[in-house]
Amino acid sequence: MSLKGSVLVVGAGAIGTGFAAVFRAAGHNVLLCDPSDAARDAAPAAMDRHLAAMVRAGLPSGDPGELHLCDKPPETATPDLMIEAGPERVEVKAALFADLLMRLPKDTILATASSAIPMSQIVPNPADQARCLVAHPANPPSLIRVIELVPAPGTLPDVTQRAARIFRDAGFAPVTLNNEMPAFVFNRLQSALLREAYRLIDEGVIGVDGIDTLVRDGLGPRWALSGPFETADLNTAGGIKAHAARMGPAYAAIGAARGETHPDWSDALVDRVHAERRALCPDADLPARRAWREKALADLLAARALILNDGDAP
């Protein structure tokens, strides 16, 4: 079977079928492999559910490419991109990559969808890392299209750029890290909030439903429209620098009480964040951006109310 120009997905679980559905919807031929008969049997129905959700979300879902199911990658496979979406165990991933590095064409990009394992632990030899990287998605990747691309120390820049182009063309929003770090960035940000939530529960400050309510009804709607830096920039007269001056000492005290080693933000760091924010949104544009967010937040909350009041909700 020759699948030049195709995408090979190894692992037919929720992440693997999500990737397969996205690339098929973008017109790619997809080879989906899993050693489990049950996983392969369930894959078409899972992909249909992903596709239905994509259609409901208004995401692109044109003429789908072909789907081929198999228990292991065939010797003749020649994909542009391989995505491994198997168990989160380094020994399993290492064995698979060692095999595929020998068998797949030299121009095939090899990616792992690992949630926390850096590529250098999966492929320790820097020479073998040249065409390997992490492509860490949000869950489900069929709907939440941000994806972290994390090169290993030996990953060639051209490989990272080609991977970003392939994912972008399929409808993803790739974010490339400058260097690898265990758990990457998405999970580090998520874990910071979750760690503090667990601490507050443990200290008896609040209950589980209270935490969920504050995030769902407070932080969540704002962060659906702007990230933490833009939120601080828009929330404070004077922008991100004024926010750092006003809230930085209180946040540093919280961090110090939790045992963080560097809880404060240096002036140089704040200046760097300020410069990047002003490059993205000049001072003159801040009033219009704040007005846009108010309108967008009203629209979002109205749409969310309809969803939360849906009679189908459990």
pLDDT (average), residues 130-136: 98
pLDDT above 50 for 9: yes
- Asked whether 119 and 150 are in contact (CB, 8 A), the reply is yes
Which pLDDT band holds residue 60 (cuts at 50, 70, 90)? confident
pLDDT above 50 for 47: yes
Residue (of 8, 164, 16, 28) closest to 97 by Cα position: 8
How many Cβ atoms are within 10 Å of 207's Cβ, its own excluded? Answer: 11
DSSP one-letter code for 227: -
Rg, the chain, Cα only:
22
pLDDT (average), residues 215-238: 95
Instruction: State the pairing for strand pair 109-112/132-137.
Output: parallel
| Total number of residues shown for the chain | 314
Q: Which residue has the tokens 């693997």?
A: 16
> Where are the chain's structural domains?
7-176, 224-308
pLDDT above 80 for 2: no
Q: 119 is written with which tokens?
A: 């590529």
Cα–Cα distance between 313 and 307 in angstroms, integer? Answer: 8
Which pLDDT band holds residue 313 (cuts at 50, 70, 90)? low
Q: What is the pLDDT of residue 45?
A: 96
Strand positions, DSSP E, the chain: 7-10, 30-33, 67-70, 81-84, 109-112, 132-137, 146-151, 173-176
pLDDT above 90 for 74: no
pTM: 0.91
* pLDDT tens digit sequence for 92-125: 999 999 999 999 999 999 999 999 999 999 999 9
pLDDT top residue among 107 and 4 = 107
Residue (of 179, 174, 171) closest to 161 by Cα position: 174
Residue (of 126, 138, 172, 132) closest to 150 by Cα position: 132
C-alpha distance from residue 92 to each of 16, 56, 84, 95 (Å): 16, 36, 10, 5
Q: What is the mean pLDDT of the chain?
A: 94
Cα–Cα distance between 252 and 97 in angstroms, integer? Answer: 43
Q: 171 is written with which tokens?
A: 């409808």
pLDDT (average), residues 11-35: 95
Residue (of 143, 120, 106, 133) closest to 22 by Cα position: 143
Residue (of 151, 142, 201) closest to 20 by Cα position: 142
Please state which of the ranges 2-16, 94-108, 120-134, 157-171 shows the lowest mean pLDDT: 2-16
- State what percent of residues in the chain have pLDDT above 90: 91
Q: What is the pLDDT of residue 210?
A: 98
Q: 216 is written with which tokens?
A: 């769902």
* pLDDT tens digit sequence for 246-283: 999 999 999 999 999 999 999 999 999 999 999 999 99
Q: 53 is written with which tokens?
A: 């959700």
Instruction: State the pairing for strand pair 109-112/7-10.
Output: unpaired
User: CA torsion, points 250, 252, 257, 259, in degrees to nearest 10?
Assistant: 170
Q: What is the pLDDT of residue 314?
A: 64
Q: What is the pLDDT of residue 311?
A: 55
Please state which of the ranges 3-12, 15-24, 82-91, 148-157 shows the lowest mean pLDDT: 3-12
Q: What is the pLDDT of residue 310?
A: 74
Q: What is the pLDDT of residue 5?
A: 64
3-state secondary structure of 139: coil
pLDDT above 50 for 3: no
Cα–Cα distance between 94 and 303 in angstroms, integer? Answer: 45
Is the four-CA dihedral 275, 277, 281, 285 of positive or negative sign?
negative
Fold observed for domain 7-176: Rossmann fold (3.40.50)
* pLDDT tens digit sequence for 164-195: 999 999 999 999 999 999 899 999 999 999 99
Q: What is the pLDDT of residue 252?
A: 95
pLDDT above 60 for 4: no
The rounded Cα 140 to chain-centroid distance in angstroms is 9
